[in-house]
Structure 1
Amino acid sequence: MPQYLDGVRLLHHQEPQSTTDATLTFAVGARDETLPTVGVAHALEHLVMNTIRRLPIRIDATVSTTTTTFEASGTPERVGEFLTGICAALSAPPVERLEVEAGVLAAEDGWVTHPMAALLYYVRYGARGAGLDWLDGPGPDGITAEQVNAFAQKWFTADNAVLQVTGPVPADLKLPLPARAESASAEAARPQAGTRPRHGHYPARQFPGPSVVGYGIPGAAVLLSLPDGDPARIASLATDVLQQRIEESARHGGGHSYVVDCDSVHQPDGTTDWVLYAEAREGTEEAVALAVVEALTDLAANGPSEDELRLALDRFEEQTATSDADLAAEFAVLRRELFDEPVGEPLDPERVRAVRPEDLAAVLRAALPTAIGYAEEDAVEQWTKHGFTEVSLCPVGGELPAGEEFRPPRVARLFVREAREQKLVLTPDELAVRDEDGVHHVPWDEVVGVMRAGDGTSVVFGANGCVLPVSGDLYRGGKKAVAELERRVDRSLWFKESRFKAEED
């Protein structure tokens, strides 16, 4: 029978040990923020951890794209103090410390995932969901107490959490989290079904075939959308083999990389977006890009060697053998339930052992048409030579619509070549700009944020990833365009540029 503590689902790993290891996971992460609240989950995590910082045990907390996790290891009594303190602080966040903690967050300058993964999520999803990993939003000094409290009340509830404990469960453990609804079963203290907040799901950007983007991060990466949840876990094995191949070439063979890793985000359609990335030592960006694209295309065409497949299978079996298989499977089901995702088929070890190289080749080959590669700008050619089409970070195309037009000042058009073709157009349906990259379109109902920059520019962010600056200095009559923004865009979507970001610039 499922176990609950104060409405929180408990998974108890009954290992023969006297100490306790606890992991409290909430089904909320950076992708559940909005552009004007980017960083609120991280700010909340810092505020909460500060309240129990003096406990003499190992403690940690992490905000990822999809989850927020609190961990502790120590005596059962101390771990119990940790869990109770964390939950109490989540129920009533100490927002009076927010101003001080903003400086700590700015000093940390942390990412919820690797910058190459964040960039590829942005290209795939724009300025929503996982794409928010790439954006700064208002910065740590722009997060308000009201935003922190609202985020905590919405997401950090008993019915949106899973507690995993290895070793003794702390005696008389209390988890004072708010419950979204009173339980019909006092015995189980289980919240009513259907009360959890729902995660936003956003359409992926579509490209006519495999694509690649360039930017200034030294390294190379690829985003692959793979089927998830089959009993043989073929997609997981395929990404393992691909990472092996990249690491052998870029790190062990060429000496170009140190970090070769992956990140993933599950999607509600039963697929997972995997990003595999390799950092590049200065001057080796082309070699690393070539290593990534050749590993991907060769494995898709020919599959792995028997040795590569055997290593992936051995890793998989070792991981399975050293974990509680039943509880691991239960956690996987719970995770999918909390994230509103379809439940996959149970793992079948016999099916895993029967996987052949051609099975891995087939799943990678099927993913190639929607793959998005990444390379440092001067190394993009390594991808295009393998059939990838270079695309921009945001969608451009089509013609400027008919509407009220604004052009740069005449002096700018005389002396700046790019300004001669630049034009801003306002219509009843959208904001559009033509620049040297092409035509950018942001429908009014898809504006996800407007930043007031330190120089007075209003920077408009579209859900599709387009970013359009508007001001009286950029365009003749631009103040009228800004006034139209003020009229059309809800006040909750406006935010100031972070003073920390302005200082960096």
Structure 2
Amino acid sequence: MTTQHSEVAGIPLLLGPALDGRCAGGLTFRVGYADETLATSGITHLTEHLALHFSDPTKLHSNGITGANTTTFHVSGTLEEVVTFLNEVAAALRDLPLDRLETEKSVLRTEAARRGGPADMLHAWRFGARDYGLASYAELGLHRIGREDVAAWAARWFTRDNAVLWLAADGVPDGLDLALPAGRRHPAPAVEPWLAPGPTHYLGRDGVVAASALIERSTAGRVFVSVLEQALYRELRQVGGYSYSPTASYEPLDRSSAVVYAFADSLPEKQDAVVGGFVDVLAGLRLGPIADDDIVAAVNRLRTMLDHPDVATLRLPADAVDLLLGHDNLTDERARAELDAVDAAAVRAVAEEVHASSLLQVPRRAIDWAGYVEAPDYNDIAVTGTSYRFIEEPEAQVTADATGVSVGTPAGSTGVLWSDAVALTTYPDGARTAIGSDGYQVHVEPNLLAGDTTALVAAIDAGVGSRPEIVVPLPARDPERIPAVSEPPAAEPKKRTEEATGPRWAQIAATVCGALALGSLVFFLWGLIQHFTDDGAASEELTRVLGRGLRALLLGGLSVWFHRIGQGRKPATAPA
């Protein structure tokens, strides 16, 4: 059965049959994090949470998803449960429970603490700190968004003209009450990478190799990704044993663009081999032969999805997104025909397209040897004005003026112009972080800079004075978390015996008495040995031997006494 098109309460409807008698449905809106700014990031996610305040996923299979350019509320269950859920979502969007604003912010911060992947910075390196690049950043807007902001956001984006309803049910059910306010269909943000074209890499965390590439949406692109995943698994898992779960995926971005992702994990001692194998696989698909068996397997995998008896229903969420993005959905017949037309030449053409925009995250060391230039660590923006040097790095300094703020080092400079700034975070202790649309940032910690930095902080605040919408006040930090210049290790206390402070004659006397005592001791011991080994020794001889021992004891005592005087210390007792 094919998808039917209709309309409910002014909202376009995509209708497919129920799955084994179980219904499903959703409302999808053309708004996501790419429509936000860094200073308002999180506002769509917050709106989604507020709209679902009534929902209990432990009792009903329902949820909300905020993506790059769409937000979806979906549910599955009985027909009555689906209708009730959709009606409650629409009612909540009409009148959000703004009294729950701070509660839901707290929930989102907790959720954010559990989020984050090994290759999140791929988005920021490609797109900067705007639109699709915001996936790499924390939801800073949660620190400044108020009730009026959320209410205005919902009124602008969550309207009937910016939505699509999709249902897996045997007909349009009665009782739907989806009266949303009127608005307009918003086009998706333009896909405008900040990163220059050409194969590029940057250094990331250990144990992870990841890649992304921007390509045109196509059936051949989907086949390429399947072939890529097969090749990565074969080379890195089966042959080399370097990686446990190498994967690849294809994700549509807007009506005409898609992103190819690839990922491979590894142990630290194996990651160089993973990097080499990863690069070799990508190069092989572009320059080497592509096995027909790999293409056939990839095509068959995609064809299996098309041949599923419930394919029309299973595709409803994706079809709703494409309808909002303005992408023409393929009929089953056309999709099969395009699959049949994919050959090695088509896959190689996609491989070339991937190579031209490839961005790799690699651990430890650069891969210039493979033709991937390293992404720039500095954006070469430097402003003039009064400079403040780092205490622990005197060769580096921070400068701010009416045009921006920059940090300069012997290796290069990075700056943010106020006209291009997308956020300025502020702490009560004076710390500031300016972030530009290209994703480069300048962080200022007054405690780490020499001199009085009051004027520096004032210059930064004045620079964005005309743009209060980008200022994000952050809560006070624990004093122990505020960076400070490390104190040098304390010198070890000087030992009392390191330096003699007494008279020189006493030091000499101590040395002479010590030598004489040692000599007397030797003669004393030798006499004892002779006395007890010579049976005829006289008693007078024994007396002389004992006299030597007494002399050795007396001289030793004098040596100790003179030594204490020579060290500048008063003897504890006088010698007898």
TM range (shorter): 0.7 to 0.9
Are the equivalent residues in 2 in contact too, given 1:213–1:374 (CA < 8 A)?
A: yes
Residue matched to 1:91: 94
Residue matched to 1:204: 193
Partner-residue secondary structure (3-state), 1:175: coil
Q: CA deviation at 1:123?
A: 0.5
Structure with the greater alpha carbon radius of gyration = 2
Residue matched to 1:389: 373
Opposite residue 161 of structure 2, the aligned amino acid is D
Partner-residue secondary structure (3-state), 1:109: helix
Opposite residue 216 of structure 1, the aligned amino acid is R
Are the equivalent residues in 1 in contact too, given 2:429–2:476 (CA < 8 A)?
A: no
Are the equivalent residues in 2 in contact too, given 1:213–1:391 (CA < 8 A)?
A: yes
**Alignment partners' CA distance in 2, 1:330 and 1:99:** 34
Question: Is the alpha carbon distance of 1:310 and 1:469 closer, same or farther for their aligned partners in structure 2, counting shifts above 3 Å?
Answer: same
The 10-residue stretch of structure 1 (326-335 or 204-213) with the greater mean CA deviation from structure 2:
326-335
Question: Is the alpha carbon distance of 1:16 and 1:396 closer, same or farther for their aligned partners in structure 2, counting shifts above 3 Å?
Answer: closer
Q: CA deviation at 1:158?
A: 1.3
Residues 1:234 and 2:236 aligned together: no
Q: CA deviation at 1:242?
A: 1.2
Are the equivalent residues in 2 in contact too, given 1:397–1:438 (CA < 8 A)?
A: yes
Partner-residue secondary structure (3-state), 2:234: helix
Q: CA deviation at 1:25?
A: 1.7
Are the equivalent residues in 1 in contact too, given 2:407–2:415 (CA < 8 A)?
A: yes
Residue matched to 2:23: 20
Partner-residue secondary structure (3-state), 2:68: coil
Are the equivalent residues in 2 in contact too, given 1:447–1:460 (CA < 8 A)?
A: yes
Residues 1:164 and 2:155 aligned together: no
Q: 2:213 aligns with which of 224, 235, 240?
A: 224
**Alignment partners' CA distance in 2, 1:162 and 1:125:** 28
Are the equivalent residues in 1 in contact too, given 2:402–2:459 (CA < 8 A)?
A: no
**Alignment partners' CA distance in 1, 2:450 and 2:221:** 50
Residue matched to 1:354: 341
Q: 1:299 aligns with which of 280, 285, 293?
A: 285
Partner-residue secondary structure (3-state), 1:294: helix
Identity level (%): 24
Residue matched to 2:468: 491
Are the equivalent residues in 1 in contact too, given 2:213–2:355 (CA < 8 A)?
A: yes
Q: CA deviation at 1:140?
A: 4.4
Residues 1:244 and 2:226 aligned together: no
Partner-residue secondary structure (3-state), 2:140: coil
**Alignment partners' CA distance in 2, 1:475 and 1:338:** 54
Opposite residue 81 of structure 2, the aligned amino acid is R
Are the equivalent residues in 1 in contact too, given 2:12–2:163 (CA < 8 A)?
A: yes
Q: CA deviation at 1:471?
A: 5.3
**Alignment partners' CA distance in 2, 1:174 and 1:364:** 48
**Alignment partners' CA distance in 2, 1:75 and 1:499:** 49
**Alignment partners' CA distance in 1, 2:167 and 2:197:** 47
Residue matched to 1:120: 122
Residues 1:68 and 2:45 aligned together: no
Partner-residue secondary structure (3-state), 2:370: coil
Residues 1:364 and 2:351 aligned together: yes
Please give the residue correspondences for 1:191-340 in structure 2 after superposition, counting only pairs within 5 Å: 195-201=184-190, 203-207=192-196, 209-216=198-205, 218-229=207-218, 233-253=219-239, 254=241, 256-258=243-245, 260-262=247-249, 264-267=251-254, 270-281=256-267, 283-322=269-308, 335-336=321-322, 338-339=324-325
The 10-residue stretch of structure 1 (313-322 or 162-171) with the greater mean CA deviation from structure 2:
162-171
**Alignment partners' CA distance in 1, 2:352 and 2:54:** 50
Residue matched to 2:388: 407
Deviations 1:172-205 (A, max 9, x none): 211132221xxxxxxxxxxxxxx22344336312
Partner-residue secondary structure (3-state), 1:407: strand
**TM-score in terms of structure 1 length:** 0.83
Partner-residue secondary structure (3-state), 1:420: coil
**Alignment partners' CA distance in 2, 1:38 and 1:18:** 40
**Alignment partners' CA distance in 1, 2:319 and 2:55:** 31
Opposite residue 256 of structure 1, the aligned amino acid is S
**Alignment partners' CA distance in 1, 2:61 and 2:452:** 59
Residue matched to 2:414: 440
Deviations 1:219-262 (A, max 9, x none): 11111121224xxx111111221122223334455262336343
**Alignment partners' CA distance in 2, 1:19 and 1:64:** 26
**TM-score in terms of structure 2 length:** 0.73
Q: CA deviation at 1:295?
A: 1.8
Are the equivalent residues in 2 in contact too, given 1:47–1:94 (CA < 8 A)?
A: yes
Question: Is the alpha carbon distance of 1:115 and 1:46 closer, same or farther for their aligned partners in structure 2, counting shifts above 3 Å?
Answer: farther
Opposite residue 28 of structure 2, the aligned amino acid is T
Deviations 1:334-369 (A, max 9, x none): 645533x56588744223212112221122123313
**Alignment partners' CA distance in 2, 1:58 and 1:330:** 17
**Alignment partners' CA distance in 2, 1:475 and 1:447:** 26
Partner-residue secondary structure (3-state), 1:368: helix
Deviations 1:82-116 (A, max 9, x none): 11111111222212122222332233226888451
Question: Is the alpha carbon distance of 1:303 and 1:283 closer, same or farther for their aligned partners in structure 2, counting shifts above 3 Å?
Answer: same
Question: Is the alpha carbon distance of 1:151 and 1:19 closer, same or farther for their aligned partners in structure 2, counting shifts above 3 Å?
Answer: same
Deviations 1:277-329 (A, max 9, x none): 23345554334333332221111112532221111100111111226677889
Opposite residue 424 of structure 1, the aligned amino acid is T
**Alignment partners' CA distance in 2, 1:329 and 1:145:** 36
Deviations 1:40-77 (A, max 9, x none): 22222222222122783311222222322222111101
Partner-residue secondary structure (3-state), 1:50: coil
Runs of 5+ in structure 2 lacking a partner? 483-576
Question: Is the alpha carbon distance of 1:493 and 1:227 closer, same or farther for their aligned partners in structure 2, counting shifts above 3 Å?
Answer: same
Opposite residue 483 of structure 1, the aligned amino acid is A
Residue matched to 2:438: 464
**Alignment partners' CA distance in 2, 1:425 and 1:179:** 46
User: What is the number of residues matched between the two proteins?
Assistant: 472
The 10-residue stretch of structure 1 (97-106 or 317-326) with the greater mean CA deviation from structure 2:
317-326
The 10-residue stretch of structure 1 (467-476 or 300-309) with the greater mean CA deviation from structure 2:
467-476
Question: Is the alpha carbon distance of 1:261 and 1:60 closer, same or farther for their aligned partners in structure 2, counting shifts above 3 Å?
Answer: farther
Question: Is the alpha carbon distance of 1:162 and 1:328 closer, same or farther for their aligned partners in structure 2, counting shifts above 3 Å?
Answer: farther
Q: CA deviation at 1:459?
A: 0.5
Structure scoring higher RCO (CA < 8 A, sep ≥ 6) equals 1
Opposite residue 207 of structure 1, the aligned amino acid is A
Opposite residue 13 of structure 2, the aligned amino acid is L
Opposite residue 89 of structure 1, the aligned amino acid is A
Are the equivalent residues in 1 in contact too, given 2:242–2:270 (CA < 8 A)?
A: no
Are the equivalent residues in 1 in contact too, given 2:23–2:77 (CA < 8 A)?
A: yes
Are the equivalent residues in 2 in contact too, given 1:139–1:497 (CA < 8 A)?
A: no
